[in-house]
Amino acid sequence: MKNNNSRRSFLKKGGIATLGVLAGIDIVYAANFPKKLEYIGLNTVDSLIGKDGRMVVLNDRPMNAETPPHLLDPALTPNNLFFVRNNGLPPVNVDSTAWTLTIEGESAKTTKTYTIKDLKTKFKEYTYQLTLECGGNGRKEFNPPAKGNQWGLGAVGCAAWTGVRLKDVLEDVGMKSNAVYIGYYGSDTHLSGDPNKSAISRGVPISKAMEDESLIAWAMNGEKLPELNGFPLRLVFGGWPASCSGKWLSKIVVRNKIHDGTKMKGQAYRVPCKPVSPGTKVADEDMCIIESMPVKSILTYPKTGAMIKLKDQLPIRGHAWAGDLKVAKMEYSIDFGSTWKMCTLTQPKNRHAWQQFSANVSFPQTGYFEVWARATDTDGKSQPMILPGWNPKGYLNNACHRIAIKVE
């Protein structure tokens, strides 16, 4: 699929008849099509490059790469297909046996330093399936465009992470009663090369840090962490922006205030506290920190552009997730959101794991269709059919994913 500012990559909206002629097929349910969207068309994803030659590289300094939706089909995202969102340059020639993690801060009762061996021997090991999604996933659909990497839909993944619970380590160090936040520091280098600058240093409230599923992890899907995903040690906070899950983890600070590290202030990983009109300039003090991610889903099979015979049913499947919540209902539509039908939806393996959905779709006639997917969380919030509220940094796009299908 060609890179542009929407997932509507077949052509600029030039009218229903034009697309029908170009595609050589009728557009079924065209009268239902929302005015603010454009058709996907039947193009397919080609010529992708990345960690293993199949990922889309958005930037190589720092490295940022996403996974085409159809390659996210496995229940657990393979290590070589897990998206990469880096802010600095990863450390080189890492000796994991000499790696240390220091816990300190004004709200820590003491300062302690652990080797990875210390973590493995002193604390109980846990494995959880946890979903990580970049806060800017889907950014390229915003109009006016937002600055930053123009992510499509593939800056998300769910892996089985192995490590120790952050809360066990924090309890070993001890926290003062005024502790409200933790912040992390990694060993990645700022793009300028200045050792006194942090590439990124974010964090989470103590309540999030103390969840059972919040991990200091050294393994991913039963293997050591990939170099681009934080080897040899990282934080993993499922359900919140992946920028909270610091990589190449070397220090955690226990704070008596909201952490004020790099990319915690200004407009980084923040959205307007109240809705604003597209293009509005928003003052820093009117921006709120992103915490739990919104409900969302992605179709992973078939690949957009698939063709099917009218007499056959089309099996569809994908994943759905909802930040700190669960997905309660999963639906699909073939008439541009006019009507919806239920999908089969699995339960998450554990809290913050994504859920799988599937359905068998029948089509009433030949022609061009789009299959749309819509998830609803346990609070009753559903994905919007079109782009949700605009924000200056292009965060939290959870509009329905859709794929194009030709029925012959």
Instruction: Please tell me the predicted confidence (pLDDT) of residue 381.
Output: 98
Residue 27 DSSP one-character state:
B
User: What are residue 65's DSSP bridge partners?
Assistant: 57, 84
40-90 per-position pLDDT tens digit: 876 543 323 345 558 999 999 999 999 999 999 999 999 999 999 999 999
Please state the domain count of the chain. Answer: 2
- Asked if residue 192 and residue 255 are part of one domain, the reply reads yes
One domain, residues 213 and 241 = yes
Is residue 209 located within the same domain as residue 302? Answer: no
Percentage of residues of the chain with pLDDT beyond 90: 88
Co-location of 359 and 256 in the same domain? no
The residues near 254 (Cβ < 8 Å, ≥ 6 apart) are 103, 104, 105, 106, 107, 108, 170, 173, 175, 176, 179, 181, 182
Same domain, 156 and 281: yes
CA dist., res. 315 & res. 301, Å (int): 8
Domain assignment of residue 8, yes or no: no
Residue 322 belongs to domain with CATH number: 2.60.40.650
Q: Report whether 119 contacts 163 (CB < 8 A).
A: yes
Domain boundary among 259, 289, 319: 289
- Bridge-based pairing state of the strands 306-308 and 401-407: parallel
Residue 220 lies in a domain: yes
pLDDT (tens, 9 = 90+) of the chain, 408 residues, equals 333 333 333 323 333 433 443 346 799 999 999 988 888 876 543 323 345 558 999 999 999 999 999 999 999 999 999 999 999 999 999 999 999 999 999 999 999 999 999 999 999 999 999 999 999 999 999 999 999 999 999 999 999 999 999 999 999 999 999 999 999 999 999 999 999 999 999 999 999 999 999 999 999 999 999 999 999 999 999 999 999 999 999 999 999 999 999 999 999 999 999 999 999 999 999 999 999 999 999 999 999 999 999 999 999 999 999 999 999 999 999 999 999 999 999 999 999 999 999 999 999 999 999 999 999 999 999 999 999 989 999 999 999 999 999 999
Determine the residue type at 285.
E
Question: Would residue 11 count as lying in a domain?
Answer: no
357-371 residue pLDDT tens: 999 999 999 999 999
User: Quick check: 209 and 166 in contact, CB under 8 A?
Assistant: yes
| Residue 206 sits in the same domain as residue 306 | no
67 falls within a domain: no
Indicate whether 281 and 299 sit together in one domain. Answer: no
Q: In terms of DSSP bridges, do strands 234-236 and 56-60 run parallel, antiparallel, or are they unpaired? A: unpaired
H helices within 179-285, ranges in order?
Answer: 206-209
Give the per-residue pLDDT at 14: 33
Return the number of other C-beta atoms located less than 10 Å from residue 118's C-beta.
Answer: 15
Residues 224 and 91 in one domain: yes
Domain limits for position 155? 79-289
Last residue of a domain, one of 271, 289, 307: 289
SS3 44: coil
Same domain, yes or no: 219 and 257 = yes
Residues 266 and 368 in one domain: no
Contact criterion met (CB below 8 Å) for 332 and 316: yes
Q: Verify that 281 and 348 share a domain, yes or no.
A: no
In-domain check, residue 223? yes
Tell me the Ramachandran region of residue 239: left when phi exceeds 0, alpha when psi lies from -120 to 50, beta otherwise.
left
CATH number for 280: 3.90.420.10
316 is a domain residue: yes
At residue 152, the pLDDT reads 96
- Could you tell me if residue 239 is inside a domain? yes
CA distance 401 to 321: 13
The residue from 289, 323, 356 where one domain ends is 289
Q: Are residues 27 and 161 in the same domain?
A: no
Query: In whole angstroms, what is the distance from residue 152 CA to residue 65 CA?
Result: 10
pTM beyond 0.85: the answer is yes
Q: Is there a domain that residue 301 lies in? A: yes
